[in-house]
Structure 1
Amino acid sequence: MNELEYRKFYDRVGQLNGWDFSKVQCESEGVKWDFYSEVTRRCRKSDLLLDIGTGGGEALLSIADCAALLVGIDDSPGMIQEALANLEQSKKSNVRILPMNAEKIDFPAAFFNVVSCRHAPFSAQEIARVLEGGGVFLTQQVSEDDKLNLIRAFGRGQKAAQDGTLKNKYSSELSEAGFSDIQSFDFDATEYYKTYEDLVFLLKHTPIIPNFGQGSDDFAKLEAFIQENQTGKGIKTNSKRFMIIARK
């Protein structure tokens, strides 16, 4: 899936559910961190926080008490609409939601103390520009070997490079942008989806298997996958993530 196709997909899903997977029944084993807990650990009450690719804003709103001002940006109209509705319902007065492209962040230089980005593309140069000296950037991204057994079962998927390629690319870009303290972390957790419906929801609302459901044998492949990977805990797959923490 190229960037244009991904953006179209992203807009459509934003209009449907804002990437809110809270109703999906899934248990995980081996998760080493919670990303937004890591973000809050590095925030002071007086800080200004920028969240890139904020989606429906649920995660950002959940940590609203960790900083003086939190700004969530996204370039999807569907996501912004969802996030604004969630903001209004939350009554949080120190959160702002703005339509904005991560390649051109419309804020002054050194404006933010902390920048976060979960599962969204970013520009290392732009982050370096809007982050204060000594400020910290945190990102969590999906590794190439995520949902590997699903991709193998369908013979197509989001894996387009050797595992670690994206992590190395982002680390190099951050170094070139002037970040001097760059650390990376990985986990490969086991996931158990409780029901067939939970797994179908995942596949229909993420780009793991491109155009899932449109192939004539997609559901037959899914049935075979479930039979092979059904356990007492649920339908087994993996969740592979990496996190980079960089200080300017």
Structure 2
Amino acid sequence: MNRSEYKDFYDKVGKINGWDFSKLRTTSEGEQWDFLYEVTQRCQKSDVLLDIGTGGGEALLSIADAALLLVGIDHSEGMIQSATKNLKKSNKSNIRFLQMEAEVITFPMSFFNVVSCRHSEFYVNEISKVLANDGIFLTQQVSERDKLNIKEAFGRGQGFGTDEGFLKNKYLTELAEAGFSDIQSFEYDATQYFQTYEDLVFFLKYTPVIPTFGQTDYDFEILQKFIEANQTEKGIKTNTKRFMIMARK
């Protein structure tokens, strides 16, 4: 997928599903942190927080009590529509959702104490512009070798064929060049099990892990062979590989 195709994909997902995977039945072994917990641990009750690539807002709504004001932005109109609906249902009064591009963040300089970004593209110079001095930036991203056995089965996928660590090293370099300090990075490669065939199909349909999944019958033939090869007592086995970066301005 090119960038335009990704945007179209996320917009369609946003209108249909938001970014709510609460009904997806999976278990994991070996995850070393919870990103939302890490974010809340670095928030003061008086802070203003920006969440980049907020999707349907489910994650931000779940940590509403961590800060004075939380603002979620997303480039997708569909995602923001879902986030706005979720906000109305929640009755939270300290959260705002806005459609905005990550590469042009139109807030006042030094407006936010904390900026978070989970599984979404970000631009270091834009973050530096709106983050207050001594503010904290945290991001969790999908590593190139995430869902590796699935990508190998299909011969394509998000980040497939890209050198492992390319994205992490790119972001680390950009943060250092922008003058951020106390830059720390972490990573894990956990085992993940999808409980059923339907859970895995849902995941592949509503994420960009395998671009254009399901548009041909051949995809389902590949999927059936993959499941037969990776079915265990705990479920259909794959991996979840993530990296996290924390930096102070």
Query: Is TM-score (shorter-chain normalized) higher than 0.5?
Result: yes
Taking the TM superposition and a 5 Å limit, the aligned residue runs for 1:1-248 are 1-158=1-158, 159-248=160-249
Deviates more, 1:22-31 or 1:156-165: 156-165
1:27-86 deviation per Cα after TM superposition (whole angstroms, max 9, x unaligned): 000011111100000000000000000000010010000100000011100000000011
Q: Secondary structure at the match of 2:162?
A: coil
Shift of 1:210: 1.1
Distance 1:134 1:203 in 2: 39
Shift of 1:177: 1.4
TM superposition outliers: structure 1 runs of 4+ over 6 Å = none
TM-score (norm 2): 0.98
Distance 1:8 1:232 in 2: 37
Deviates more, 1:193-202 or 1:1-10: 1-10
Distance 2:71 2:203 in 1: 28
Distance 1:111 1:214 in 2: 44
Structure 2 alignment gaps of length 5 or more: none
Structure 1 alignment gaps of length 5 or more: none
Number of equivalenced pairs: 248
Q: Secondary structure at the match of 1:136?
A: strand
Distance 1:160 1:63 in 2: 36
Shift of 1:156: 1.2
Distance 2:217 2:68 in 1: 52
TM-score (norm 1): 0.98
Letter in 1 for 2:76: S
Q: Secondary structure at the match of 1:200?
A: helix
Deviates more, 1:205-214 or 1:235-244: 205-214
Q: Is the 8 A contact 2:151 2:157 kept in 1?
A: yes
Q: Secondary structure at the match of 1:217?
A: helix
Q: Secondary structure at the match of 2:217?
A: coil
Identity %: 67
Pairwise CA RMSD: 0.8
Distance 1:244 1:136 in 2: 11
Q: Is the 8 A contact 2:19 2:58 kept in 1?
A: no
Shift of 1:209: 1.0
Distance 1:187 1:239 in 2: 8
Distance 2:217 2:99 in 1: 38
Letter in 1 for 2:36: Y
Distance 1:209 1:247 in 2: 34
Distance 1:107 1:160 in 2: 37
